[in-house]
Structure 1
Amino acid sequence: MSKILIIEDDLSIGEMMSIYLYEDGYEVKRAENGRRGVALFRDFQPDVIVLDLMLPDMDGMQLCTTIRQTSHIPILMVSAKNEVSDRVKGLQTGADDYLCKPFSMRELSARIQALLRRSNAFPSALGPTDEINAGNITLDLEKRCLYVGGKNIETTFSEFEIMKLFWQNQGRVYNREELLNRVRGFDSQVTERAIDVHIANLRKKIEIDPKEPRHIKTVWGVGYKFLPI
């Protein structure tokens, strides 16, 4: 049974999400503020976090950053803020998906299913224990770790999934829709602009000069590809 942690200060919305997801077969715990959310994150060890952007004691972006310092757990951010800039900022902070209020419980469940499906999948001829190297970059599939020059580089769930896909299919060009389907499945309504954000973040983490990338190359008018050298 997958475990879902909901961090939401609105009692009615939080209770509604908890009941619906419980009836969907998940083990659910809910926190009404960021401090309680951090405690449950450590004790409950959830498989997915549903995180409200506006919390009474801390900003949801701040909490997302805190969680990302120690975990790659999929994070679904929910908020009444629906501007593109808000969604982009959420993804840049470390969220793997962004759902605007009001939303249906059915869509919430679909988004969670997509995140769980991606986090549990290893659709490749490579086994999950394989470690792959390209110059000073190493990808450990079993530990879900990315190393650059021997240093462990923190990545979000979606960033790692994109990197894994690139690595297992070096030189192949992927368009934004293909990459979006990879990291979130077909249930997400998030704009393909999210992929550009993840690519920009990955370049900052693995490239010597993100403005002149050697590894993650743009194929103009098509998408992106990964080159080991």
Structure 2
Amino acid sequence: MSKILIIEDDLSIGEMMSIYLYEDGYEVKRAENGRQGETLFREFQPDMIVLDLMLPDVDGIQLCTMFRQTSHIPILMVSAKNEVSDRVKGLQTGADDYLCKPFSMRELSARIQALLRRSNTFTPQAPSSSDTVIHAMINLDVEKRCLFVAGKSIDTTFSEFEIMKLFWQNQGRVYSREELLNRVRGFDSHVTERAIDVHIANLRKKIEDDPKEPKHIKTVWGVGYKFLLL
């Protein structure tokens, strides 16, 4: 699990990023100012930093320069400043990418995945441990939290993987939406029963040959869902 350090003084934006990235399966720590960010950088030892350019105590450019003196981990700079000169200055200082506010959480996640892949910090491996469930087309590595379909690593959110793991460990058992909700609520307090249907739809798109005619994640009408390996 990759570790992300967010240094953002805006409470609402910082919390939104933290929740979304946690849901995506990252271990996340957040600092509200530069000094706290320096401390967490040393103690947390993140795999990547999301750094706000404008902080109340330390300039983001200055902080980026300091991080670059001791580390080569990816740095994604975020800022409300969208002038070309600001972006160039951030990149010249040592940031690997620059994202202008406002931005969508999906774009934030995509930028982070791309940076981690390029830095070889995020390198999913083929399942090989004793805690790996193997099938001809679908593999689940519980220890590494990796889902493979036809040998290809498939990205999942934290909640999607928790649902998939529950299905794998209890194949054929029917789960109601409420039971699945209780499974993931501890990780994401914002999940609703309607969101469970969305998670199921997303999982079907990722593992089924035809999501409209699923062979693995079956709907049990009036009750919920079950998983069949076939």
Q: In structure 1, how many angstroms separate the alpha carbons of the residues matched to 2:106 and 2:178?
A: 26
d(CA) in 1 for partners of 2:207, 2:12: 43
Q: Kindly state the Cα deviation for residue 179 of structure 1 after the two structures are TM-superposed.
A: 1.0
- Letter matched to residue 206 of structure 1: I
1:1-229 matches, within 5 Å, as 5-6=5-6, 8=8, 10=10, 18=31, 31-32=51-52, 43=73, 56=101, 58-68=103-113, 129-185=130-186, 188-229=189-230
Equivalents in 1 of 2:12, 2:204: separation in Å? 41
Q: Secondary structure at the match of 1:198?
A: helix
Kindly indicate whether the alpha-carbon contact (under 8 Å) linking 2:168 and 2:227 is maintained by their aligned counterparts in 1. Answer: yes
Contact 1:136 1:150 in 2 (8 A): yes
Question: In 1, distance between residues paired with 2:12 and 2:212?
Answer: 46
Q: Which amino acid aligns with 2:107?
A: Q
Check conservation: 2:131, 2:142, Cα contact below 8 A.
Answer: yes
Cα distance in 1 between the residues matched to 2:103 and 2:13:
19
Q: Distance in 2 between matches of 1:56 and 1:13?
A: 10
Contact 1:216 1:225 in 2 (8 A): yes
CA drift at 1:58: 3.5
The whole-number CA distance in structure 1 between the counterparts of 2:12 and 2:187 is 29
SS in 1 for 2:192: coil
SS at match of 2:203: helix
CA deviations 1:69-91 (Å, max 9, x no partner) are: 687xxxxxxxxxxxxxxxxxxxx
Instruction: Answer yes or no: is the 8 Å Cα contact 2:208–2:216 preserved in 1.
Output: yes
Deviation per CA, 1:168-216, whole angstroms, max 9, x where unpaired?
Answer: 0000111112112212328724321111111111101110000000000
SS in 1 for 2:229: coil
Unaligned runs of 5+ in 1: 46-53, 72-127
1:86-145 Cα distance to aligned partner (Å, 9 max, x none): xxxxxxxxxxxxxxxxxxxxxxxxxxxxxxxxxxxxxxxxxx841112331111112211
Question: Once the 2 structures are TM-superposed, how far is the Cα of residue 61 of structure 1 from its aligned partner?
Answer: 2.3
Partner of 1:50: none
CA distance in structure 1 between the aligned counterparts of 2:113 and 2:202, rounded to whole angstroms: 14
| Structure 2 alignment gaps of length 5 or more | 16-29, 37-42, 54-59, 62-66, 76-98, 117-128
* Greater Rg over alpha carbons, structure: 2
What CA distance in whole angstroms lies between the structure 1 residues aligned with 2:196 and 2:13? 29
Q: Whole-Å Cα distance in 2 between the matches of residues 209 and 67 of structure 1? A: 30
> How many residues are treated as equivalent by the alignment?
155
Identity over aligned pairs, percent: 63
Which secondary structure does the structure 1 equivalent of 2:134 belong to?
A: strand
Q: 8 Å contact 2:8–2:31 — kept in the other structure? A: no
| TM-score normalised per structure 1 | 0.53
- Measured in 1, the distance between the counterparts of 2:197 and 2:141 equals 24
RMSD of aligned residue pairs (Cα, Å) = 4.1
Q: 1:142 to 1:167 in 2, by over 3 A?
A: same
Residue pair 1:136, 1:148 contacting (<8 A) in 2 also: yes
